């Protein structure tokens, strides 16, 4: 990330959102709102005095609510740029009208409570979408505690416990009493592959990260026993299967094929009741810590993002690729490409591959001034067009635009034109036009008429 921020050809706009996208491939008009972080990006030196001294503590989103952050904060130590943002909803200066400590103490004078959002409007040739994912809320599973048990955590929360820059400084301890766990249960497919209460698809990454967690836990806590309840283990990537085998053989992970029916508290332990379908019996595990591999979902605001960008999404909110096999990186909107989990749950190697693919597609696009396209697009006979603009309303790609031309005698005339680079050749405009003044090349009325007459012979 630091490398990207130092590259002359890359401008990183953080704490910003896309408001509007217009135009078409090669010529997107994008309106960006740089939200006010209330700290001046140019002046801040990243010394950290402000967030050290801030009196307000708020649960940290990055630490998945397992630790705290301040009202003025940098989400994680490696953040780029290393400039904090003020959370107006919790900052005392905004909620109570008095404090101002960070501004007083900032030696660079970078804290600016009056800072306003900035709107940037610019033209871009292509758009790559890599807006990521969210996690399924396991609260719907009352049998796993429904969020009541402090020691039932998600995989991402365990990551924060393991991380040296996390809320426990890398010490894996139970959230309830801070003791080191001796017996840890992992439950796969929480929310995934569940038609009834969850999502019908497989989240791709959980089998592998759970195995990784089992390995890391064993390395941190040599006495720990890990138990993994699974339905199937999906380890299809390169060396993945060997990794899972090592997890079992070298790191002593116990894989139990079966579902967990209930978790309940007994004293300070959690009793995990499940099935072992290979042994054909019920099992009960006394656990200190339970880790749920929750499903990957689309971002909660994925649909709004997609609508702004003019790309379609599926019933789960994942962005739709042009073709599931032959074009997994492009979208139906020429010039908008997908990378990473926003298209479908995927792990790091696949994300890097799709991002590289998106980057090459953009590079190919930019490698010349002209684009070659399918010629089977619509054209308008402007001499008979009534300018009712019904075709414009119907076009899913906004390929029809109004233009003003100057006639030979100097008068100006408004007419409609089809943007050939955007038209995909569906013909919806043709059937909408009541006077047949727009025609789809390659599928003209004449051609269809001839076919029909031949059939009707």
Residues of the shown chain interacting with another protein in the complex, contacts defined by CB under 8 A: 312, 315, 332, 376, 384-390, 393-394, 396-397, 424-428, 430-432, 434-437, 440, 443, 445-446, 448-453, 455-456
Cα–Cα distance for residue pair 51/7, rounded to 1 Å: 28
Cα–Cα distance for residue pair 383/436, rounded to 1 Å: 12
Cα–Cα distance for residue pair 272/263, rounded to 1 Å: 5
Closest distance to another protein from the beta carbon of 431 (Å): 5
């969210």: which residue's tokens? 134
Q: Residues 294, 152: contact at Cβ < 8 Å?
A: no
Among 11, 31, 28, residue whose Cα is nearest residue 20:
31
Closest distance to another protein from the beta carbon of 313 (Å): 11
Q: Can you state the percent helix, strand and coil of the chain, rounding each to 5?
A: 25, 25, 50
Burial class, 405, CB count within 10 angstroms (exposed 0-12 / middle 13-18 / buried 19+): exposed
Nearer to another protein, 197 or 323 (CB): 323
Burial class, 186, CB count within 10 angstroms (exposed 0-12 / middle 13-18 / buried 19+): buried
Nearer to another protein, 181 or 427 (CB): 427
Nearer to another protein, 164 or 375 (CB): 375
Backbone angles phi, psi at 236, to 5 degrees: -85, -15
Nearer to another protein, 231 or 322 (CB): 322
Closest distance to another protein from the beta carbon of 12 (Å): 32
Closest distance to another protein from the beta carbon of 315 (Å): 8
Nearer to another protein, 113 or 397 (CB): 397
DSSP 179: P
Nearer to another protein, 370 or 453 (CB): 453
Closest distance to another protein from the beta carbon of 306 (Å): 12
Closest distance to another protein from the beta carbon of 200 (Å): 16
Nearer to another protein, 127 or 207 (CB): 127
Closest distance to another protein from the beta carbon of 258 (Å): 33
């080191």: which residue's tokens? 180
Q: Residues 148, 262: contact at Cβ < 8 Å?
A: no
Nearer to another protein, 148 or 414 (CB): 414
Q: Residues 119, 285: contact at Cβ < 8 Å?
A: no
Closest distance to another protein from the beta carbon of 436 (Å): 5
Nearer to another protein, 44 or 440 (CB): 440
Nearer to another protein, 366 or 449 (CB): 449
2: left (phi over 0), alpha (psi -120 to 50) or beta: alpha
């390169």: which residue's tokens? 238
Cα–Cα distance for residue pair 220/58, rounded to 1 Å: 29
Closest distance to another protein from the beta carbon of 444 (Å): 9
Among 276, 269, 275, residue whose Cα is nearest residue 290:
269
Burial class, 139, CB count within 10 angstroms (exposed 0-12 / middle 13-18 / buried 19+): exposed
Closest distance to another protein from the beta carbon of 377 (Å): 11
Cα–Cα distance for residue pair 133/317, rounded to 1 Å: 10
């Amino acid at each position: 990330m630091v490398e990207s921020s130092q590259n002359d050809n890359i401008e990183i706009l953080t704490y910003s959102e896309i408001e509007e996208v217009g135009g078409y491939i090669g010529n997107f008009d994008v309106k960006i709102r740089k939200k006010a972080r209330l700290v001046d990006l140019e002046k801040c030196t990243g010394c950290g005095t402000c967030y050290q001294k801030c009196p307000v503590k708020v649960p940290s989103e990055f630490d998945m609510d397992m630790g705290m952050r301040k009202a003025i904060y940098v989400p994680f130590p490696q953040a780029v740029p290393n400039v904090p943002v003020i959370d107006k909803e919790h900052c005392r200066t905004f909620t109570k009208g008095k404090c101002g400590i960070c501004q007083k103490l900032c030696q660079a004078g970078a804290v600016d409570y009056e800072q306003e959002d900035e709107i940037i409007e610019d033209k871009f040739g292509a758009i790559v979408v890599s807006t990521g994912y969210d996690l399924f809320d396991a609260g719907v599973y009352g049998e796993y505690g429904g969020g009541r048990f402090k020691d039932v955590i998600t995989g991402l929360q365990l990551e924060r416990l393991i991380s040296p820059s996390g809320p426990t400084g890398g010490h894996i301890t139970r959230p309830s009493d801070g003791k080191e766990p001796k017996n840890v249960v992992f439950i796969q497919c929480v929310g995934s592959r569940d038609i009834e209460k969850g999502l019908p698809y497989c989240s791709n990454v959980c089998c592998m990260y759970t195995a990784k967690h089992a390995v890391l836990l064993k390395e941190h806590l040599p006495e720990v026993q890990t138990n993994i309840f699974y339905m199937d283990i999906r380890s299809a990537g390169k060396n993945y299967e060997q990794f899972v085998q090592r997890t079992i053989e070298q790191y002593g992970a116990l894989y139990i094929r079966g579902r967990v029916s209930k978790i309940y508290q007994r004293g300070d332990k959690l009793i995990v009741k499940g099935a072992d379908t290979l042994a054909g019996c019920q099992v009960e595990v006394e656990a200190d810590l339970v880790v749920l591999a929750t499903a990957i979902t689309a971002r909660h605001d994925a649909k709004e993002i997609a609508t702004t960008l003019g790309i379609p999404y599926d019933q789960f909110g994942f962005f739709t690729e042009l073709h599931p096999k032959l074009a997994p990186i492009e979208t139906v909107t020429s010039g908008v490409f997908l990378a990473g989990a926003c298209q479908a749950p995927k792990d790091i190697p696949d994300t890097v591959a799709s991002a590289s693919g998106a980057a090459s597609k953009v590079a190919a696009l930019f490698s010349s001034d002209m684009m070659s396209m399918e010629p089977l697009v619509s054209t308008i006979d402007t001499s008979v067009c009534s300018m009712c603009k019904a075709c414009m309303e119907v076009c899913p790609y906004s390929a029809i635009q109004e233009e003003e031309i100057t006639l030979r005698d100097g008068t100006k005339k408004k007419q409609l034109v089809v943007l050939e680079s955007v038209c995909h050749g569906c013909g919806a405009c043709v059937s909408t036009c009541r006077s047949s003044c727009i025609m789809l090349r390659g599928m003209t009325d004449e051609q269809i008429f001839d076919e029909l007459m031949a059939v009707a012979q």
